[in-house]
Chain A
Amino acid sequence: MTANHLDASQFTANQHFTADIVIIGSGAGGGIAAEQLTNAGFNVLLLEEGAYYRSNDFVMEERWAYPNLYQEGAARKTQDKSIGILQGRTVGGSTTVNWTTSIRTPPSTLDYWHSEFGLNFTGENDLAPFFQHAEQRLSIQPWPVPPNANNAKLQQGCEALGWQYTVINRNVNGCANLGYCGMGCPINAKQSMLVSTIPTALSNGARLISRLSVRKLLWQDHQVTGLEAVPVDAHFQPRSDIKVTIAATHYIVAGGAIGSAALLLRSAVPNPSGRLGKHTYLHPTVISGALFADDINGHSGAPQSIYSDQFVWPRDNNVAGYKLEVPPIHPVLMATKLIGTGEAHAALMAQLNKLQVCIALQRDGFHPESQGGTVLLDAQQQPVLDYPITDYMWQGMRQALLSMAELQFAAGAKQVLPIHHDAKLYSSLPEAKAAIEQLPMVKLRQTVVSAHVMGGCNMSVNANNGVVKQNGRHHQLQNLSVFDGSILPTSLGANPQLTIFALIWRNCQLLIKELM
């Protein structure tokens, strides 16, 4: 056990703590905040529902990583089970398990926020200095190593078709190109919150309590007055036998999209805009597999090093935009997504090392028929996301399947397999196109996944159009901030961690000025 760390699952009696600032959640938002606020001299208490696992625990096996490092054992689903969601739940949050892709907020996204939500990130509000701070702090730079074959096929397909592509910036230092970022970096190369800002915060005097689930904020007269929490059990289920109470001067909710909204819903905080928990975005993602003659070995090497924005900002806004990337190819991740059963499934798995996989992440939240999902609470007061997929979105996904098939054949694929339960391996682009045009785009036939959860506590200038102000401060409760991806008013059209780092870095500086 590290000094300044308490494991709440070891508590044997009720506990009470006090602090200047309590931060609920230790991911991209909470981790940045912990370092910034302790650097400024505040007494910070950092709370995390997950466990405090570190590099020695990261054994590069999915069977350990998914139940121990991910929300709901990496089996989180939307309410109708039609979208699978990968989201971290461990000290460091999703930064501990993400694939290190670090992209600044697209200017078109910031322009949309300005026009729709009055959010101005130009002039003195420019995020550029904070992107630079985060990039320097977390060793974010273009990946200098040639892409692995999985990413190289994405690049080659783009080159063959004249499509745009970019070498990805990654937050790594001393990366050995192993390919197991999603299971926790075993050599501390990934500059997640776990190995960067949180250790600094702890050395600055912050206290970390892990395996603690915050159940409710107490408030009255526009002020949060305390919070109630419980330890979780060995399987991360909230316990009822011990109660933890915490009082602080300022409260920062940073439980990630879905989690933060759920806490505020449980707390029945003022919600005059009616937007709390609503407009939660996922970058709904469809998948296309391809078999190549040569080995791909998509489990080895940096999981993401190339992306393509060829289709992310179509000129016609009635066409859904999507970003092209690749995922790492590990047995559980693939076995659960590849289609079929029995011999057919086994035959696909036997070709795992020749499998190349593309993913298309839809940019949701920019169209009237793409307004995201709503966080609800189940009988245990745990969050469930209701995320309807509209016809506009389904047609965008069909187009994405067509694009990925075209790219994979252009890169030399022998066969392409859209991950749809009515699809099969297709041996030519015309055959694949004809089949994809006919696939029924309906839930639980078309596989949809997500690794980016955003929104639900959106920022806005006007209190009737959001949950928090542009600086992350709650519109109604004066000593409450929300500092995580839940404040994004739409999805990003880019992987979210760098946006969250910069936005929260900026918001912390504003908060420090106000609290000093």
Chain B
Amino acid sequence: MDRRQFIFRGLALGISASLGITGWQYYASESDSNRDWVLSALLPALLYGALPKDTTLAQHELARTQTAITDFMPYLPVSQQQELADLFALLANRISQLALSGHITALPQLSVNQRLALLASWRDSYLLVLQQAYHGLRELLYGAYYGQPEHWLPITYTAPKFC
């Protein structure tokens, strides 16, 4: 366990303890579902204003982005993949999420503004790991969304049809 994992897990355990709850655990086998759960909650907020108004089209874009993130992550260094898995586990845990967001409501039930406020609170946090989480997620998610040619119409970007 490196320093960052130590901090993430320490943070989660500390939050649990402060609420009188024990038994916070991280299972690697849960990492895919944690990731999908967290992305499903955060992507619509980060991409608010970029997604099409049409709900069906928006769902397609969200699904495409989520797939792109899943496809991209194995290219990251193993240490960064582990950091992301830890972050997703932390956010998927209702108890730690309560302490991080101040909301008892599960992440997906928060309003878009509440989710954006949560992200902004990480950006402005005194904890370096939360600042890093904000920037890391932001780059990962925006990179995945704007990498898809299907999403370029609103930004009127077209690559030359050369090949």
Q: B7-38: contact bitstring with A at CB < 8 Å (1 yes, 0 no)?
A: 00000000000000000000000000000000
For residue B102, CB closer than 8 A to chain A, the reply is: no
Is A346 touching B79 in the complex (CB atoms < 8 A)? no
- Verify if A350 is at the interface (C-beta below 8 Å from B): yes
A473 CB-CB contact with B under 8 Å:
no
Q: How far is the CB of A295 from chain B (nearest CB, A)?
A: 9
Q: How far is the CA of A236 from the CA of B156 in the complex (A)?
A: 33
A80 touches B128 (CB 8 A): yes
CA distance A332 to B159 in the complex (A): 13
CB distance from A332 to the nearest CB of B (A): 5
The reply to whether A382 and B155 form a contact with Cβ atoms under 8 Å apart is no
A63-B68, A331-B152, A341-B116 are known contacts. Are A236 and B75 too (CB-CB below 8 A)? yes
CA distance A299 to B123 in the complex (A): 30
Contacts of B116 in A (CB 8 A): 341-342
**Surface stretch bound by A, among B54-62, B88-96, B139-147:** B139-147
Given contacts A60-B159, A61-B147, A352-B156, contact A75 B76 (CB under 8 A): yes
How many interface residues does chain B have, given as a range? Answer: 35 or more
B98 CB → nearest A CB, Å:
22
Kindly state whether residue A343 has any CB partner on chain B within 8 Å. yes
Q: Which residues of B contact A59 (CB under 8 A)?
A: 163
Nearest-CB distance from A72 to chain B (Å)? 6
**CB <8 Å contact, B135 and A444:** yes
Interface mask (A220-257 → B, CB under 8 Å = 1, otherwise 0)? 00000000000000111100000000000000000000
Q: Are B132 and A178 in contact (CB under 8 A)?
A: no
Chain A residue at minimum C-beta to C-beta distance from B83: A81
Q: What are the interface flags for B43-64 relative to A under an 8 Å C-beta threshold, 1 for contact and 0 otherwise? A: 0011111100000000000000
Complex Cα gap A236–B136 (Å): 21
For the complex, would chain B's binding face be called helix, strand, loop or mixed by DSSP majority? helix
**Which A residues, 62 to 77, have Cβ-Cβ distances below 8 Å to chain B?**
62-63, 66-67, 72-73, 75, 77
Residue of B at shortest CB range from A56?
Answer: B163
- Does chain B have a CB within 8 A of A438? no
A341→B118 CA distance, assembly (Å): 12
In contact, A352 and B155 (Cβ under 8 angstroms): yes
Is A186 an interface residue, CB under 8 A from the partner? yes
CB of B76 within 8 A of CB of A349, answer no
Contact B163 A186 (CB under 8 A): yes
Q: Could you say which residues of chain A place their CB within 8 Å of the CB of B136?
A: 81
B1 to chain A, nearest CB (A): 9
Partner of A345, one of B50, B154, B160: B50
Q: Which chain A residues border B156 with CB–CB below 8 Å?
A: 352-353
Separation of A73 and B2 alpha carbons in the complex (Å): 22
**Chain A: number of interface residues, binned into ranges:** 35 or more
Docked pose: A344 CA to B157 CA in angstroms: 19
Q: Which listed residue, B77, B148, B157, B162, touches A382 by the CB 8 Å rule?
A: B77
Q: How many angstroms from the CA of A234 to the CA of B75 in the assembled complex?
A: 9
Chain A 49-64, CB-CB to B under 8 Å as 1, else 0, gives 0000000101111110
**Taking the complex as formed, is A335 at the interface, i.e. its CB lies under 8 A from any CB of chain B?**
yes
Q: Does any Cβ of A come within 8 Å of B72's Cβ? A: yes
C-alpha spacing A324/B24, complex, angstroms = 50
CA distance A272 to B124 in the complex (A): 43
Tell me, rounded to whole Å, the shortest Cβ–Cβ distance linking A357 to chain B: 14
A56 to B162, CA, bound (A): 11
Would you call B74 and A237 a contact (CB within 8 A)?
Answer: yes
Q: In the complex, are the beta carbons of B152 and A75 less than 8 A apart?
A: no
| Complex-state Cα separation, A407 to B135, whole angstroms | 28
Is B80's CB within 8 Å of the partner chain A? yes
In the bound complex, what is the Cα–Cα distance between A330 and B155 (angstroms)?
11
Expressed in whole angstroms, the Cα–Cα distance for A353 and B131 within the complex equals 30
Interfacial chain B residues near A352, Cβ < 8 Å: 155-157
A380 neighbours in B (Cβ, 8 Å):
77-79
Q: Which of B48, B112, B119, B120 contacts A346 (CB 8 A)?
A: B48
- Whether the Cβ atoms of B77 and A178 lie closer than 8 Å is no
Contact, CB under 8 Å: A335 / B145: yes
Closest to B48 in A: A342
Q: Which residues on the A side are within 8 Å of B143 (C-beta)?
A: 62, 66, 75, 332, 335-336
User: Judging by beta carbons under 8 Å apart, are A342 and B77 in contact?
Assistant: no
Provide the residues of chain A in CB contact with B157, threshold 8 Å. 299, 330-331, 352-353
Contact check, B147 vs A345: say whether CB atoms are below 8 A apart: no
User: Distance (Å) between the CB of B33 and the closest chain A CB?
Assistant: 21
CB distance from A341 to the nearest CB of B (A): 5
Subset of 13 A-B contacts with CB under 8 Å:
A77-B80, A84-B139, A178-B162, A180-B159, A236-B75, A336-B139, A341-B116, A342-B47, A345-B46, A346-B49, A380-B78, A444-B128, A444-B135
Assuming A62-B143, A345-B46, A352-B155, what are 9 further A-B pairs, CB within 8 angstroms? A72-B77, A84-B139, A341-B46, A342-B48, A343-B49, A349-B146, A352-B156, A352-B157, A378-B79
